[in-house]
Chains A and B, each alone.
Chain A
Amino acid sequence: MKAVNYVIPVLLLICLHSCKEKPKEPIAEKKFVTADTTGALPEEMGTNTYAAVDISPMDMSYFPVDYPKLKMANDSIEPPLVRVIYSRPHLQKRRLFTSILKYEEPWRLGANESTEIDFFKAVTIQGKKVNAGRYIIYCIPHPDKWTVILNSNIDTWGLKQDAKKDIQKFDIPSTSNNPLLEYFTMIFEKTSSGTDLVMAWDDVVAKLPIEF
């Protein structure tokens, strides 16, 4: 009888312990899984036989901010100025510069495909003119600044950059100790002369100033 009374709490402990652990799911075969794309898999990953839902989902940001919604509300809106298409890896208990990225090594600014930026009109960045068109954008992080690079090798996967096709490079300051972000985030913020492309992940934020 006494023994039985101890079995219940022990069972509860086991239950509690197993609740804390994420269920182990089958890992779907995935090409080019690297530090910025690893981690627990979303529920459908292994079971969608057509195309699995990605662990680092894609997202899109426009400037003007929320352009598609603005367009819905305003028929006579001017065309958009910039948009970025990127994938959103998440920290999953890791830290950005201890287990995901290394300083001085190129990073695709996302996951999976190279991050794409479309300038719908010519812009100026740090005094340099950038023609309208589609580019891929990647960075080389340093401890207190990032080198952000526009490259013409579009429609490509992010793990291999062809530096011969680099169009422009920009050094921008980066800050840390910002509020922690689980998911990598790219968004445009309005400025007096145009917009900043804000790149934020973990507690690190870097902003690329774009002038129209």
Chain B
Amino acid sequence: MKSMVLTIRQLSSMKNIVASLSFLLFFSTMAFSQASLPPLAKSPMDMSYYPANYPVLKIQDKIPEPVAVRVIYSRPKKEGRPIFGGLVEYGKLWRLGANEATEIEFYKNVSIGDKKISKGRYTLYAIVNEKTWTFILNRDTDTWGSFKYDSTKDIVRVEVPIQQQPTSAESLTMSFEKSATGCNLAIFWETIKVALPIIF
């Protein structure tokens, strides 16, 4: 019985250790935070090039072809939520990411869905449906989300079919794939893949 009491005491001292550890942790976190500077984005930004990994290949002198396109987007996570038809509602405009609107830049003139596109920066949106996505290329750049979307600034709209994938992507992912006529902007999230053909 005596030894049982000892155990309880030990347990209670263990609790104190845990408490003081959390206390320390709390204050070390405080020390790192600074009100005036921006915190890390919950959906971090990322950038993809075509050719894929162009910046790395460039310093290795292994560039397979001139840089053609890049996309800058933010990467929200699924976090257990239903995405398509859920978080991203069918039939509604989506910024294809989070935070700032998704930016696509063409380093040379390209074609998308028979439309000639001059080189430069554009905003890319999508309307997601069950079987297809409609991509919208718009010339209003440096904007937030899709809240101020102005259809008079649309350059082209293209509808592409979805492709079901065997695995689920937790974070929204964009990358470029080589195609016979240029490249595809491939977008993955949940178990959906969509590929937007870019011709050059």
Q: Do A and B come from one complex?
A: yes
Q: Does B48 contact A (CB under 8 A)?
A: yes
Q: A60-B100, A179-B34 are in contact. Are A31 and B56 (CB under 8 A)?
A: yes
Let me know if B170 and A156 touch, CB within 8 A: no
- Chain A CB within 10 A, most for which of B40, B53, B59, B70: B59
Chain B interface main SS type: mixed
Let me know if A157 and B171 touch, CB within 8 A: no
Residues on B with C-beta less than 8 A from A8 are 7, 11
Q: Does A171 contact B (CB under 8 A)?
A: no
Q: Enumerate the 4 nearest inter-chain pairs by beta-carbon distance, A residue then B residue, closest first.
A: A57-B44, A68-B144, A58-B45, A157-B55
Contact size range, A: 35 or more
Q: Does A150 contact B (CB under 8 A)?
A: no
Q: Does A195 contact B (CB under 8 A)?
A: no
Residues on A with C-beta less than 8 A from B145 are 72
Q: Does B169 contact A (CB under 8 A)?
A: yes
B1-19 contact mask (Cβ, 8 Å, vs A): 1 or 0: 0011011001100100110
Let me know if B45 and A181 touch, CB within 8 A: no
Q: Which of A29-69 contact B (CB under 8 A)?
A: 31-32, 44, 47-51, 53-54, 57-62, 67-69
Residues of B within 8 A of A (CB): 3-4, 6-7, 10-11, 14, 17-18, 21, 31-32, 34, 37-41, 44-49, 53-56, 58-59, 67, 70, 72, 75, 77, 99-101, 142-145, 147-148, 167, 169-171, 173-175, 186, 188
Chain A interface main SS type: mixed
Option from B40, B101, B175 in Cβ contact (under 8 Å) with A57 = B40
Let me know if B38 and A44 touch, CB within 8 A: no
A182 and B58 alpha carbons, distance in the complex (Å): 30
Residues on A with C-beta less than 8 A from B101 are 68
Residues of A within 8 A of B (CB): 1-2, 5-6, 8-9, 12-13, 16, 20, 31-32, 44, 47-51, 53-54, 57-62, 67-69, 71-72, 75, 79-80, 83, 85, 88, 112-114, 155-157, 159-160, 179-183, 185, 187, 198, 200
Once A and B bind, how many residue pairs between them come within 8 Å at the CB atom? Answer: 129
Let me know if A155 and B142 touch, CB within 8 A: no
Option from B7, B54, B58 in Cβ contact (under 8 Å) with A9 = B7
- Chain B CB within 10 A, most for which of A1, A159, A179: A179
Residues on B with C-beta less than 8 A from A59 are 38, 40-41, 44-45
Option from A31, A68, A85, A200 in Cβ contact (under 8 Å) with B47 = A85
Q: A16-B18, A54-B44, A113-B47 are in contact. Are A71 and B144 (CB under 8 A)?
A: yes
Give chain A nearest CB distance to B17 CB in angstroms.
7
Residues on B with C-beta less than 8 A from A60 are 45, 72, 100
A179 and B53 alpha carbons, distance in the complex (Å): 36
Let me know if A75 and B44 touch, CB within 8 A: no
Q: A68-B144, A181-B34 are in contact. Are A157 and B56 (CB under 8 A)?
A: yes
A175 and B170 alpha carbons, distance in the complex (Å): 40
Nearest A residue to B60 via CB reads A157
Nearest B residue to A60 via CB reads B45
Residues on B with C-beta less than 8 A from A179 are 31, 34
Give chain A nearest CB distance to B11 CB in angstroms.
7
12 further contact pairs, Cβ within 8 A, besides A8-B7, A68-B143: A1-B3, A20-B21, A50-B169, A59-B45, A60-B72, A72-B143, A72-B144, A181-B34, A187-B37, A187-B38, A198-B37, A200-B37
Let me know if B47 and A58 touch, CB within 8 A: yes
